[in-house]
A and B are shown apart, each in its own frame.
Chain A
Amino acid sequence: MQEPKSLGVVTPQYVQIVKPLQLKSGYVLESYHLVYETYGQLNAARSNAVLICHALSGNHHVAGVYAGKEKSFGWWDNMVGPGKPIDTERFFVIGVNNLGGCHGSTGPASIDTRTGQPYGASFPMVTVEDWVETQAQLADHLGIEQFAAVVGGSLGGMQALQWTLDYPEKVRHAVVVAAAAKLTAQNIAFNDVARQAIMTDQEFYGGNYYAYGTLPRRGLRLARMLGHITYLSDDSMAAKFGRSLRKGELSFGFDVEFEIESYLRYQGDKFADLFDANTYLLMTKALDYFNPADSYNGDLSAAFRVVMSNFLIVSFTSDWRFSPERSREIVKALLDNKINVSYAEVPTTHGHDSFLMETPYYHQLVRAYMDNISF
Chain B
Amino acid sequence: MNEITKPAAIALRPDFAAIAEWIKPGAKILDLGCGDGSLLRYLRDTRNVFGYGVEIEDENLLKCFHNGINVIQNDLEAGLSSFESDSFDYVILSQTLQAMRNTEGIIQEMLRVGKEGIVSFPNFGYWKNRMQVIAGHMPVSETLPYHWYDTPNIHLCTMGDFEALCHQCNARILERRVLNAYNRPVVFLPNLMGILAFYRFERRL
Residues of A within 8 A of B (CB): 172, 310, 328, 331-332, 335-336, 338, 340-347, 361, 364-365, 368-369, 372-374
Q: Report if B58 contacts A (CB, 8 A).
A: yes
Residue of B61, B64, B68, B83 ringed by the most chain A CB atoms within 10 A:
B61
Contact count band on B: 20 to 34
Instruction: Beyond the given A328-B82, A338-B87, A342-B64, please list 5 additional residue pairs across the A-B interface where CB-CB is below 8 A.
Output: A172-B3, A310-B2, A335-B72, A343-B71, A374-B3
A331 in contact with B58 given A340-B2, A372-B4, A373-B2 (CB within 8 Å): no
Instruction: Supply 27 A–B pairs (Cβ within 8 Å), ascending by A.
Output: A328-B82, A331-B82, A335-B82, A335-B84, A336-B84, A336-B87, A338-B50, A340-B1, A340-B2, A341-B70, A342-B64, A342-B69, A342-B70, A342-B71, A343-B71, A343-B72, A343-B73, A361-B58, A365-B62, A365-B65, A368-B66, A372-B3, A372-B65, A372-B68, A373-B2, A373-B3, A374-B4
CA distance A44 to B65 in the complex (A): 28
Q: Report if B28 contacts A (CB, 8 A).
A: yes
Interface Cβ pair total, 8 Å cutoff? 61
Q: Report if B201 contacts A (CB, 8 A).
A: no
> Which B residues are CB-close (under 8 A) to A335?
52, 72, 82-84, 87
CA distance A361 to B65 in the complex (A): 12
**Beta-carbon contacts of B72-109 to A below 8 Å, as 1s and 0s?**
11100000001110010000000000000000000000
Partner of B61, one of A341, A344, A373, A374: A344
B70/A369 in contact, CB under 8 A = no
B28/A344 in contact, CB under 8 A = no
A365 in contact with B2 given A331-B72, A331-B82 (CB within 8 Å): no
Chain A residue with the shortest CB-CB distance to B66? A368
CA distance A364 to B58 in the complex (A): 11
Partner of A342, one of B50, B65, B82, B84: B65
Chain B residue with the shortest CB-CB distance to A366? B65
> Which B residues are CB-close (under 8 A) to A365?
61-62, 65
Partner of B65, one of A331, A340, A368: A368
